[in-house]
Amino acid sequence: MWPPPRAKQIVVGDCAADPPLGATGRALATARAEDVVYGLGAIALALGVKRLALRVRHDDARAALEREIARREARVQLRVLADAWPPPGGEEVVPASELVRAAERARGVEPRTYVTIAGAVRAPQVAGARAGSTVEELVALAGGALADDWVAVAGGAPSGTLAPRDAVVEDPLLLILPASHEVVRRLRTPIADWLQRAASACEGCRLCSEACPAPLEPHQILWTLATLREDGVDLARALACTGCGLCDAVCPSVLSPRALTVAVRDRLRAAGANGNAARANRSAVEKPGGLDVALLTLRLGLAPFAAPPAIRV
């Protein structure tokens, strides 16, 4: 159930969190604006909250939502963000897909899974699929993969994870890539290999830390792990990592500060570490911005798959 049942001052719906090649939030804002606004209101009513806002990145999404807000005479603030990844953090948001599902539940309609199927598929699209659809079923829905040795990345790049073909899809982006693609190779690289590469190739340039929207200074975590030095670095800071992957995208040595920082974060969480203080500190210092999505698409080697998806939601 989204959002979690706790006291809130404002409900913020998010139509701006699509990573490269993703278009689910944008498509729902344009094609299902009525349900986006209705679902936002339904969630706010259930929580007893009167302040509502929607985050958007694209002009067509903003225009569609503006029309629907005006039609309903709804008191909803529109926040227009730059076309960059990752979108600003620091607040809890409700994804556009959850807003539409909330509207469907309120109307007694069976909620669907809303996902962009992109990359090496014959018919890239944003689809409303049966809840519980698997990777293989969604790839078939998009006309099939362009290669027999395809691999699925749930959540897309640079922050997704590899998903088996029989996995149920819950992420708003399913990125299909050839097994030989650099994104796949990076995700398949073991942590031990990243440690070894960091020990020999990290230049200490700090670009990963300068790009980090938290900021967490991942270069310090990477260097500490690679050298096994007791240098006073507080590894607990990794608890605030969102795993956005921007540090990987800017690393000139093609290392993965993200993989190492996320590994530390997950081990600390498994040991019972509390990340509330780290997240609160992240919210206080979080930087706006991110990397331009078009540039990030090029850096990730995704430009050959950047055909606009059909919208079937």
Amino acid 130: pLDDT: 95
* Three-state DSSP state, 178: strand
pLDDT band at 284 (very low <50, low <70, confident <90, very high): very low
Is the pLDDT at 282 greater than 50? The verdict is: no
Q: What is the DSSP letter of 243?
A: -
Stretch 248-276: mean pLDDT? 89
Distances in whole angstroms, Cα of residue 265 to Cα of each of 4, 194, 218, 249:
22, 16, 12, 20
Q: What average pLDDT does range 144-164 have in this prediction?
A: 97
State the pLDDT at residue 6.
56
Domain 10-106 shares a fold with domain 113-186+299-312: no
Q: Look over the chain and give the mean of its residue pLDDT values, rounded to a whole number.
A: 91
Q: What is the value of pTM for the model shown?
A: 0.91
The Cα–Cα gap between 305 and 2 comes to 32
286, pLDDT greater than 70: no
pLDDT in tens, 27-73: 999 999 999 999 999 999 999 999 999 999 999 999 999 999 999 99
pLDDT at 275 over 70: no
Res 281 pLDDT > 60: no
Say if CB 82 and CB 59 are below 8 A apart.
no
Amino acid (one-letter) located at 302: L
Average pLDDT over residues 262-282: 75
Give the span between the Cα atoms of 201 and 256, in whole angstroms: 11
The answer for residues whose C-beta is within 8 angstroms of residue 85's C-beta and 6 or more apart is 19, 20, 158, 244, 246, 290, 291, 293, 296
Nearest to residue 92, comparing CAs of 266, 280, 267, 237? 280
Q: Is the peptide bond before 158 cis (omega within 30 degrees of 0)?
A: yes
Looking at per-residue confidence, does 4 or 128 come out higher?
128
What is the distance between the alpha carbons of residues 38 and 203, in angstroms, rounded to a whole number? Answer: 51
pLDDT digits (tens, 9 = 90+) for 298-310: 999 999 999 999 9
Q: 51 forms bridges with which residues in the sheet?
A: 10
Is domain 113-186+299-312 classified as CATH 1.10.490.10? Answer: no
As to burial, measured by CB atoms within 10 angstroms (0-12 exposed, 13-18 middle, 19+ buried), residue 278 is buried
Q: Is the pLDDT of residue 137 over 50?
A: yes
Contact yes or no for 24/14 (Cβ under 8 A)? no
The pLDDT value given to residue 214? 83
pLDDT digits (tens, 9 = 90+) for 211-228: 998 878 899 888 888 887
Task: Write the CA distances from 132 to 16, 70, 126, 194, integer angstroms.
Answer: 24, 35, 16, 34
Quick one: average pLDDT of 179-197?
Answer: 95
pLDDT in tens, 160-174: 999 999 999 999 999
What average pLDDT does this structure show over 85-94? Answer: 89
The dotted CATH code for 10-106 is: 3.40.50.11540
Buried b (16+ CB within 10 A) or exposed e, 1-25: eebeeeebeebbbbbbbbbbbbbbb
Per-residue pLDDT reduced to its tens digit, 222-251: 888 888 777 778 888 899 899 999 999 999
The predicted pLDDT at position 283 comes to 46
Instruction: Provide the residue ranges of all domains of the chain, joining segments of one domain with +.
Output: 10-106, 113-186+299-312, 189-273
54 and 76 Cβ atoms separated by less than 8 Å: yes
